[in-house]
Structure 1
Amino acid sequence: MKLPIIVVASLLLFFGAGAGAQSPAREIPDFTFFTVDGNPFFSKQIPKDRASLFSFFDVTCTHCKTTMKTLGDRYADLRSVSVYLVTLDGRKEALDFVKKYGPQLINKKNVTILNDLNKEFLPKFQPQQYPSVYVYNRYRRLELYEKDERKIPYIFEKIKGL
């Protein structure tokens, strides 16, 4: 059964407005994601001696492509932080996406591509849209949240101070 366009538009507006009212997680929440190798990755595995950057992306999102490209191009500025690239998409799709748009991030010791198979990211981190980038300090507290891919270059200034 097809829904009339006005009903679909109303539902999107209703649910979209609720999502926009969310506040990003102030501290890194407990979670279980999975590496592209299929291994569980727990929040307790995050190093405590450095800042962490989480980039939430979708492989079909144009803005996510721009964000991934910026993160890859500026990898030298990310060496001092733990980088987590998180998606709801499948392992192969996620890996292909990062290889295509952020190849400089592949096989780096401080970069981990994670699949959110249990769909925990949305309720726990509360992103407002794709892409969403979070910078947490070594005490696991939020320093910066950015959802506008045009402002992603500003995160590198914040990282220098952590």
Structure 2
Amino acid sequence: MKKIILLIALTSTSVIFAQDYPKSLPDFEISNQNNETFTQDDVSQDSYAYFIYFNPTCGHCKTAFKTLNLHVEDLKNTKFKLYPVSAKNDKDTHAFFENYAPKLLALNNVQILLDDNYKFADTFFVKGYPTAFLYDKNQKLVKVYNGESKIMGFMDEIK
């Protein structure tokens, strides 16, 4: 009887964890820095898509984006699209990039998005800052990265 209860508990737990993150790119609607609507239909389908949800006031996010800034040459030569998704307004987000990741602003494969009402965070079940989501060309979830130390981990997946 104890084994059956343990099996049920483990199965229930794995279902809860399996539901944590959408397995394919969910429907969402946020804005870009030009205050235009950006949805899942606007996501590039000719390469990997790497969303990084961050808050410009977060110390861990500052460290993560400093790391990305240091590796800008690697990022420039890799086939993927980077979508930093800010939990703040355009002014705070722009200042953040100027201070912590200015080299990213010059990359063609970067598009900064804004989620100042947390709709993206709710849809993607973001649990902390920074949280990154790697999707393949078919918009299927490859991996989720939590924390600043994992920010470059996606490079191993797409090479």
- The TM-score normalised by the length of structure 2 is 0.80
Q: CA RMSD in A?
A: 1.9
SS in structure 2 of the partner of residue 99 of structure 1: helix
The alpha-carbon deviation at position 159 of structure 1 amounts to 2.3
Q: Which residue does the alignment assign to 2:41?
A: 44
- The TM-score normalised by the length of structure 1 is 0.79
1:92 is the counterpart of 2:91? yes
1:109 is the counterpart of 2:83? no
For residues 58-84 of structure 1, the C-alpha deviation after alignment (integer angstroms, 9 at most, x for no partner) is 011000001111122222333311110
SS in structure 2 of the partner of residue 41 of structure 1: strand
SS in structure 1 of the partner of residue 106 of structure 2: coil
CA distance in 2, matches of 1:33, 1:62: 24
Q: Which residue does the alignment assign to 1:5?
A: none
The residue type equivalent to 1:112 in the other structure is: Q
1:60 is the counterpart of 2:57? yes
Alpha-carbon contact 1:36-1:92 (below 8 Å) kept: no
Count of aligned pairs between the two proteins:
141
The alpha-carbon deviation at position 133 of structure 1 amounts to 0.9
SS in structure 2 of the partner of residue 121 of structure 1: helix
Q: Which residue does the alignment assign to 2:127?
A: 128
Structure number with greater Rg is 2
The residue type equivalent to 2:27 in the other structure is: D
SS in structure 1 of the partner of residue 47 of structure 2: coil
CA distance in 1, matches of 2:158, 2:62: 21
Pair 1:76–1:144, CA change in 2 (3 A):
farther
Q: Which residue does the alignment assign to 1:119?
A: 118
User: Identical aligned pairs, as a percentage?
Assistant: 31
Q: Which residue does the alignment assign to 1:7?
A: none
Unaligned segments of structure 1, at least 5 residues: 1-19
Alpha-carbon contact 1:90-1:115 (below 8 Å) kept: yes
The alpha-carbon deviation at position 117 of structure 1 amounts to 4.1
CA distance in 2, matches of 1:149, 1:41: 25
